[in-house]
Amino acid sequence: MTDTDPGKTATSDPIRFRPARQTDGAALWRLVKATGQLELNSAYFYLLFASDFGDTCLVAERDGEVVGAVIGYHPPRQADTAFVWQIGVLPALRGQGLGQRLLDRWLALPANRACRWVTATVDEDNRASRALFGGFARRHGAECTVSPLFMPEQFPNPHPAEPLLRIGPIDRKAGSRAEASRQDRQRRELAAQDAS
């Protein structure tokens, strides 16, 4: 991507967004491990996802380092749905809105443009993820419903229930207007900084 690509938010923003590539598998594994909060899967899992589902995964880079990512896919029987398997941000960058930016950029990926629903499983104790997806739903003017999906007894080891969050339907035109408004606000802020 170049500086004029929509994957880069502004010239002063050091974060670059792009779809995952096959070569990102190890970096995704390291990112998930570094978060200290996400369930770490095998390295092979991340290699496979980056390779076979790279179009539905998003990487955030700063100075060539993966600092955040959304690992997702389309459930085979739900063509209008994009599922977030994992979303993670390095601890040093938390609290700066990168998670929200990741979700918005992920939904805007060409592979996700036809999706009107976003789903994820998030246990009840994960307040940060619940807040992240709740904010995403509000920004997109969509409902976020919660329903049972995976119960503790379904896991082979002790594990909390993983209810399904379902966000939507998402008005794709409203998302475009919100992105245009965000970009306009960002341009005004940059102009104000340049003027001072």
Question: Closest Cα partner for 70 from 1, 116, 136?
Answer: 136
State pTM to two decimals. Answer: 0.81
pLDDT at 2: 30
Place of tokens 């998402």: 170
Place of tokens 């100075």: 63
Q: What is the mean pLDDT of each run of 10 residues along the chain (196 residues)?
A: 38 88 97 95 96 97 97 96 97 95 97 97 93 96 97 96 97 62 58 60
E strand or H helix at 190? helix 172-195
pLDDT at 12: 72
Which domains does the chain carry? 15-195 (3.40.630.30)
Other beta carbons within 10 Å of 179:
14
pLDDT at 10: 45
> Structure tokens of 30?
């390291």
